[in-house]
Amino acid sequence: MTAYFIEEKDFNDFINQILQVMPVIAPVAKEPLFSFEELQNAEQLRLDYDLTILPPKKAFFPPQQVILRFNAGKFEGTVNPRKQVLLGVHLYDIKAIDQTDFLYTENYEDINYTAYRRATTLVGSNIQNIAKRAFWGSISHDVPAKGQDAFMTKLDAKGYLFEVFSDKGEELLAYGNFQAASQAQIVLANKINQDIKEQCPEKLNYSREEMASTIRQSFKNTALWDELAEDCFSCGSCNTTCPTCYCFNIEDQWNVDQTSGQRTRYWDSCMTEDFATISSGGGHSENFRARRGERMRHRIMRKMVYLNEKLGSQACVGCGRCAIACTADIADPVQIVNRIMEAAHE
């Protein structure tokens, strides 16, 4: 890691210079929160954002992605990434991206993801404002963020510390008026990033191992899972807004000529009713998670238990998006985990 400093007065110029060369996807204001969008100019950038509606994974794992095009029996893939910068990503989202990188690479590498991911320069930024349901201070907080090419910390009104972690991060230096950072600036940035961890409005009071083992032991407590899911609309908003969710469905569409068309994958949600349904013919079907409680259990097990060993942390990074998105307000992992932990001691 090498650390640099860029003054506030030079910062917009830095962004605008990158924009001359390649797209920059970064947080901009969008009701009711913020959104990662392709910047038109540096003035739109809102590094003071608290949370974006959708997580930044969409920069290389879009909600809908054509994976092949066909025309009368001929077909071809569509992978054709462009170099781009994904900038202003908070630590919790960097951790989620790192998890998805692993999951899309293990066993079978899916280049429909990895090619776009590799073409992306990932630039993090410190959290200046905290979302109202965030709890990243107490989940996966001991897991270092990996995968960022550079990380910016706003030190004070004067400017940003810019830490570089890779060649891709290094390349960006050419676009801005950077100078070597002082030791005092590095220390200050560290303190800023440490202090903010204590300020989350929500908190989980258990260790990763305690949560994982108690939640797993609660697997067969059907009444508890049914209680947790009682008000669930099975809408899937908790999945759609989740930075660590990576499930998808695949469907074909014809073009109007009825000869050509495409095969598209799109984000899917395990909380929706038919996610695990198979048809067996003659109007018969089998839904392996027919009850809302079973689907809630699957979601929580996925986030808190099943992937821990593989990922070295929970598959939840504490962003709080699901809690905000849920109409019935039953999706918040903090409330769910606390309830499970309480129930285990009843």
In angstroms, the first-to-last Cα distance of the chain is 49
Q: Are 84 and 119 in contact (CB under 8 A)?
A: yes
What is the smallest separation between the CB atom of 23 and another protein, expressed in angstroms?
13
Under rule CB under 8 A, which residues in 88-107 are in contact with another protein?
Answer: 101, 103-104, 106-107
Question: Does residue 257 belong to the site contacting another protein (CB under 8 A)?
Answer: no
> Which residue, among 110, 141, 145, has the nearest Cα to 246 in the 3D structure?
110
236: left (phi over 0), alpha (psi -120 to 50) or beta: left
Count of residues in contact with another protein, rule CB under 8 A? 68
What is the smallest separation between the CB atom of 107 and another protein, expressed in angstroms?
5
Question: Does residue 294 belong to the site contacting another protein (CB under 8 A)?
Answer: yes
Choose, by CB under 8 A, the member of 53, 111, 311, 343 that binds another protein.
111
Question: Does residue 279 belong to the site contacting another protein (CB under 8 A)?
Answer: yes
CA distance 45 to 26: 7
Show the tokens assigned to 242: 């989740």
Give the total residue count for the chain. 346
Choose, by CB under 8 A, the member of 44, 114, 234, 338 that binds another protein.
114
Question: Does residue 278 belong to the site contacting another protein (CB under 8 A)?
Answer: yes
Question: Does residue 306 belong to the site contacting another protein (CB under 8 A)?
Answer: yes
Under rule CB under 8 A, which residues in 148-207 are in contact with another protein?
Answer: 149, 165-168
Name residue, tokens 């810019």: 162
Cis peptide before 23 (omega within 30 of 0): no
Buried b (16+ CB within 10 A) or exposed e, 25-43: bbbbeeeebbbbbebeebe
| Stretch binding another protein (CB under 8 A), from 80-88, 132-140, 185-193, 323-331 | 80-88
Q: Are 284 and 18 in contact (CB under 8 A)?
A: no
Q: Are 154 and 126 in contact (CB under 8 A)?
A: yes
| Stretch binding another protein (CB under 8 A), from 87-95, 127-135, 228-236, 259-267 | 259-267
Tell me, residue by residue from 32 to 71, as one string, x for binding to another protein by CB under 8 A and - for no binding.
-----------------------------------xx-x-
Show the tokens assigned to 331: 């999706």
Q: Which residues bind another protein (CB under 8 A)?
A: 67-68, 70, 73, 75-83, 101, 103-104, 106-112, 114-115, 117-119, 147, 149, 165-168, 219-220, 246-254, 258, 261, 263, 265, 268, 270, 275-282, 286, 288-289, 294, 298, 301, 305-307
